[in-house]
Every structure is written in structure tokens, then in C-alpha cells.
Structure 1
Amino acid sequence: MAARPLRRWLTRAALAIVALPVLFAGTAWIGSSIPRNADWEEPARGVTILLAHNGVHTEIVMPVLAEGHDWRAHFSPADLAEPRRAYTHVAVSWGERDFFLETPTWAEMELGNALGALFGGEALLHVAWYVRPAPSGNFRELRVTPAQYRALAEAIAADLEPDPQVFEGYEDHDVFYSARGAYHLGKTCNQWTSDRLAGAGIATGWWTPLAGGVMKWVPRAAAR
């Protein structure tokens, strides 16, 4: 008789393990479909930025110099392994420190790091430098007004800690900096991206823990 309650418990546990990711994905889809700044329209003229993703993680790609904002004043190219290229754009994203530093590729992801990121940790800014990034399915252009760009740039710069600690990047054109805030399930890397866009008055979703929830607000057709 004792075997039957055990089997029922194991069955329920297995169903819960399957149901939780499905529930999370469903709520993420719903949350990312609720608009912020729903009346926003892309201006005919302004500053062109890009939103980029690798299927899991998003970043905001901006001109090195635009509207009087020079990213070299915040992120020195001298911090890069290859500082001499004629970089035109800087891409910024935010994430959990240990996961960022210990997972250079998805093949090196460990369960402990992934779970640790979900339950919280210190934050880093990941800064990658590009030379004329071309629009594509993974790099989608978005035009914003000068005022929106300045608000976006100022908010991102404010996430950098004063006198930040610098960490080596994955390649010769990227680097990490200690950042303000703490990473947790309610504030993921992708939520940071949409929060920064929303704070500048740009249309995006309300809750965007997944990359797709951010990118669906910038459809492929927007690439020019």
C-alpha cells in the first residue's frame, strides 16, 4: 500500500517539474505583450540604435558618439584587449556577475551558475564594441528621438558604479564593469533592457524575462 502514495507523489512532482517552465513561459509571453509607452511611434528622424540578441540575452547597441553623448567618457577603449580598431558602436547589457564571468559560451553553462543567477547576485555591465554593425535578424534597428536617446544613454551610464571594477571580456572587443543593482528572477538581463527603453519613453513590454519578449517589439521588418 505504501507504494501507491509514493507513486502518486512522484507523479505529481514530475508534473510540477514539467508545468513550472510552461507556466513561466506563458506568463512571460503575457507580461511581455502588455505594452509600456503604447502610444510611442518611431520618428522619421532621430538617432538609430539597434537591439541585439543571441536567442537568450539582449543588448542595446548605440553610436559611440551621438547627441553630445560620448561613450568613451564612461567605457575606455583602453580597457579592451584590442583598443585600436575604429569602433563606431558600443553595445551594453546588464546581468549577474558570476554567470557572466563563468559562462563565456552556452556550452560552458553549469547548473549551479544558472540557479545562482535566478536566486540573485551582484550585477555587471557587459560592454562590447563594434565597427558598423549591420542590421540583421539578430541586430534590429530602431530610431528614437534625440531626447529619447539622451534619456536612454543617461540611464545606462547611471548603472555604472563609481570607479567601477573592470573584468576581462570574452574576446578582444568586449569587457565587463561592476554595476549598480542586483540580479534576480524579477529583474533579469532582458528586463533591464526593456526597463531602460521604457524609461526613455520607447514602446516595449511590461515584463520581459526572455529575449523574445524584448525583440518582438522591434520586428524584423524594422531593419532598414
Structure 2
Amino acid sequence: MLRYALRWIVALPVLLLYLYGAAGMIGGLIPVNTGRATPTEGIRIYVEDNGIHTGIVLPAEGWEDIVRPDHFADPRYAGHRWRSFGWGDRAFYIGTPTWWDVNPLTVLRSATGSDDTVIHVDAIPEPQVGPRVRMVVVTPAEFARLTAFIRASFAPGAPVRGYGAYDAFYPATGRYSAARTCNAWTGEALRHAGLKMGRWTPFPATVMTWLN
């Protein structure tokens, strides 16, 4: 009986991970805004994926009231004409720039829920479309809804420096959890704008697959 119980103790977390992964992929395949027609003219935006986090890349104009040059370690990077926005748990986001930095304890704590969230902003040149970068043309109305959603995700408070000289983290609104990950936030923002997207997008692939 004890051996049987120990097997379940070991197997249950693995089973839950598989179920979570399957649910996330299924949720990502259920489309929203299916009637959207791709505009022939409009505003270019980009969505990028670094393997863990997805970000929404918008023109830098119009963000000067929130994202200022002195927020970056090197203010010269503010001269870049694009800004990448991502949302997530503070401990996980700040401490996990790549897969090599993943700490299982941090992932577990974040997955159980955290109200300590941040917006990550990069000052970058215009991205080049590739395997991890998609370009999307949006209408002015879609762009307005998207920027309004991102602005509403900022919370009052002072920013902190980011991974390098070109980025910063800002206090954010919203609760992070396994149900609402950084990638789920990206999908939520794009759905709010009116773009075709999966209903639940907890993983990078569930976001990027709709932007081919």
C-alpha cells in the first residue's frame, strides 16, 4: 500500500503537467474573432517569442509619458523607434530571461498565483520577420484598443532596470497564475484588439500559431 501511494505521489505532478499542457494546446486551438478581415493598409505591429515569453512590439511614439529615456540604464537606447511590451510575474520574469535561468521553485510559486506582476519594456529597432517574429497589420481602431489594453496593464510605481541597458520593468496590474501566464496576457491583448487568436494562450506556440 505504501509503495502504491508513493507511486501516485511521484506520478501525480507529471500527470497534472501533461493535463495542463493538453488543456493549453486545446484552448489555443479554439479561435476567437474568426470574422476579422486582414486589412490591406494600416499600422504595422509585431509579436515576438523568445521561447518563454511573448511580447507585443509597437511604435515608440505615444509612449513617452510612461516609458522615459532615464528608465533605461543607457538612455541612448530610447532612440530606438520600437517598444516591446510583455507582462508577467515579477520573480519569474525578472529572474528568467532564458530557459537556462528557469528555477523550478520560482515556476511553482508563480503558477500557484502572484499579484506581484510587471510589464517588461524593451527599446528596440524594428524587428525582422522570422521564425520567432510575426508582423501584423492592424486598423487604427484595432491599434487604439491594443494600446489601451497595454496602458491599462501598467500600475503606479517606479520602474526598475531590466536585463541590460535597453529595457526596464514597470509595476503592473493583474494576477499571474498558471491560468493567466505572460503568453495568456499577450493573447488577451490581441483578442481585445480584435485580432484572430486562440481563446486561451498559455504558451508561446498558442500565440504565434495564429500569426503565420
Q: Structure 1-normalised TM-score?
A: 0.89
Q: Determine whether 1:64 maps to 2:56.
A: no
Distance in 1 separating the partners of 2:88 and 2:44: 24
1:100 counterpart residue number: 93
Give 3-state SS (helix, strand or coil) of 2:46's partner.
Answer: strand
Cα shift at 1:112: 1.8
Give 3-state SS (helix, strand or coil) of 1:16's partner.
Answer: helix
Q: Deviations over 1:28-86 (max 9, x none)?
A: 11101111111112210101111100122100001112xxxx11222112211122243
Match of residue 73, structure 1, among 65, 72, 86: 65
1:127 counterpart residue number: 121
Give 3-state SS (helix, strand or coil) of 1:183's partner.
Answer: coil
Distance in 1 separating the partners of 2:96 and 2:134: 25
> Which amino acid in structure 2 is aligned with residue 26 of structure 1?
A
Asked whether the equivalents of residues 51 and 99 of structure 2 are also in contact (C-alpha less than 8 Å), the reply is no
Q: Determine whether 1:55 maps to 2:51.
A: yes
Q: Deviations over 1:126-185 (max 9, x none)?
A: 0001012211111110111111001101110111113x2211100111100001112111
Q: Determine whether 1:152 maps to 2:146.
A: yes
2:6 counterpart residue number: 10
Give the number of aligned pairs: 210
1:43 counterpart residue number: 39
Identical columns (%)? 34
Match of residue 135, structure 2, among 131, 137, 141: 141
Distance in 2 separating the partners of 1:10 and 1:105: 33
1:208 counterpart residue number: 201
Match of residue 22, structure 2, among 22, 26, 33: 26
Q: Structure 2-normalised TM-score?
A: 0.93
Higher strand share: 1
Bigger radius of gyration: 1
Distance in 1 separating the partners of 2:65 and 2:4: 61
> Which amino acid in structure 2 is aligned with residue 63 of structure 1?
P
> Which amino acid in structure 1 is aligned with residue 75 of structure 2?
P
Distance in 2 separating the partners of 1:205 and 1:120: 22
Match of residue 182, structure 1, among 175, 191, 195: 175
Give 3-state SS (helix, strand or coil) of 1:74's partner.
Answer: coil
**Cα RMSD after superposing both structures:** 1.4
Gaps of 5+ in 2: none
Cα shift at 1:103: 2.8
1:74-93 alignment runs, 5 A limit:
74-85=66-77, 86-93=79-86
1:222 counterpart residue number: none
Gaps of 5+ in 1: 220-224
> Which amino acid in structure 1 is aligned with residue 173 of structure 2?
R
Cα shift at 1:22: 1.6
Distance in 2 separating the partners of 1:18 and 1:79: 41
Asked whether the equivalents of residues 51 and 98 of structure 2 are also in contact (C-alpha less than 8 Å), the reply is no
1:197 counterpart residue number: 190
